[in-house]
Amino acid sequence: MTNERKIWEAAMLLIEQHGIAAAEVAHREALKRRGRDDELTRFVWFWIARFAAEILRSTPSEEESVH
């Protein structure tokens, strides 16, 4: 499994738990890690936030019609 796939799955889990706030939750987690030794974990949280935002942006609202 690729790292991108794992990050996508983490974003999906976060969306299931937090709904439309998922991207913001991931972003806050990344910011909490600022200045710590594990920069990779911080960047992974930023990637999760970006993926969550992309997934949520591509999800149509109830008012939008889907063909």
Contact yes or no for 26/48 (Cβ under 8 A): yes
**In the chain, where are the structural domains located?**
3-58
pLDDT of residue 67: 56
Q: Is 47 helix (H, G, I), strand (E, B) or coil?
A: helix
Q: How far apart are the first and last CA of the chain?
A: 32
Where residue 38 falls (left for φ over 0; alpha for ψ -120 to 50; beta otherwise) is beta
Contact yes or no for 49/30 (Cβ under 8 A): yes
pLDDT of residue 46: 96
pTM of this prediction?
0.80
pLDDT of residue 35: 85
* Sites in the chain below the pLDDT cut of 50: none
